[in-house]
Structure 1
């Protein structure tokens, strides 16, 4: 493998992916090549209480992650908690994870590496690499995984940003459509139509996008079928 060419190709391919889901799937594929691993998986952090397997090369990778949640120990969780990278030459004999190691060895996984996926602004999760043989990874492999993880983290950040922008654009479009419907139905101006949506959103603890979506999806209903009454204007 020509290392510079590989990283260039991987970086370009990752940046071309249209969604976060596609990006993490491709990260696992390229990570296996970069580290020469048998398996790869990604844990993504959504909140303090929610970490999930976002991509995996097989069901046993998912199970190896699930075992960490169940046993509350493992290199992937420690990477997320401490910000460090972990090299595990032999999972079965590693004293750091006395419950997880033997359990994951029963799956046929015998060595592992976990490195962070993060930028300066955000920690996204961990990239986790596995091998069927003990002693499959060394310090050079860990360094390669860390370099690849930096490229992958940037691609993941871009995918999150682009997907967030698309969601925001879609939300604005839906809100605009809902405003047009209310303007036509109730003979009100744009400012008043937006105020109707905003006040209902606040009063009923619903997102503005959710309220606007209901209006658009129910635009063929009669005026009297629009529930609620805000400022003298019946709407959702």
Structure 2
């Protein structure tokens, strides 16, 4: 896809060994990150991530949670821009939050070309770093766009929940080698916090939709029962038949009946 909020994903090259920071501007292994985590722990780090936990807890819904995470990333890591891309089915993604329109342009560049560090990070569980945009050669179209937008270095950290990548935290610095080992460790921890919060927000949203659908269907069944003297099972069967015959979600059939006091046309 080439829409702004969706793009085709790109998987990591099979069999290629993980890379560590500083070797070739490539992937950052979990081992390298874990080796740096100790350097950013302590009272100050504990306070920072306690604050993050509060901000994520206070957020309402996916959009607010993503925005809270990217805003915190700017303060915690000291980058210029941040964004979150959420994984969708079929290897595509949607924009969860951006701190600046520049991030959306960089995402769009990958949507258009079908390649880039974000898409590579979405295809696996390993952090992808570009230490110097000007010397990057793996994604020429993305590199040209990033250079044009005066990006010096980039960090894309997969957000992993239940052993699957649900999105990517993207960080952008105006200078080459803008992210040291401590920055990468902080970003890694932040991505983990954000993944848990985003998954929780998504679950809550799904539950709210399910409850809303159940209420709509119950109200629509009540209308049918009162109007036609149907029992509970037959009223539900009528809604389900119209849903199947018109290829319409049961919830939408119920809403149509409530709003119009009639069933969808065509049958």
TM-score by length of 2: 0.79
Distance in 2 of aligned mates of 1:155 and 1:45: 15
Greater shift in the superposed pair: 91-100 or 193-202: 91-100
Deviation at 1:43, TM superposition (A): 1.0
Contact 2:132 2:177 in 1 (8 A): yes
2:65 counterpart of 1:65? no
* Residue equivalent to 1:232: none
Deviations 1:136-186 (A, max 9, x none): 112221121011100000000100000110010000000011011111111
Say which SS state the counterpart of residue 73 (structure 1) adopts. coil
> Equivalent residues in 2 for 1:114-193 (5 A)?
114-120=156-162, 122-193=164-235
Unaligned runs of 5+ residues in structure 2 are: 1-42
Contact 1:80 1:126 in 2 (8 A): yes
Relative CO higher for 1 or 2, CA cutoff 8 Å, sep ≥ 6? 2
Distance in 1 of aligned mates of 2:229 and 2:266: 17
Distance in 2 of aligned mates of 1:101 and 1:217: 52
Greater shift in the superposed pair: 193-202 or 174-183: 193-202
Deviation at 1:199, TM superposition (A): 1.7
Structure 1 residues 49 and 87, CA gap change in structure 2 (3 angstroms): closer
Greater shift in the superposed pair: 173-182 or 51-60: 51-60
Deviation at 1:228, TM superposition (A): 5.9
Contact 2:121 2:168 in 1 (8 A): yes
Distance in 2 of aligned mates of 1:100 and 1:226: 47
Distance in 2 of aligned mates of 1:227 and 1:141: 59
Deviation at 1:196, TM superposition (A): 0.8
TM-score by length of 1: 0.89
Distance in 1 of aligned mates of 2:215 and 2:141: 51
Contact 2:124 2:158 in 1 (8 A): no
Unaligned runs of 5+ residues in structure 1 are: 230-236
* Residue equivalent to 2:142: 100
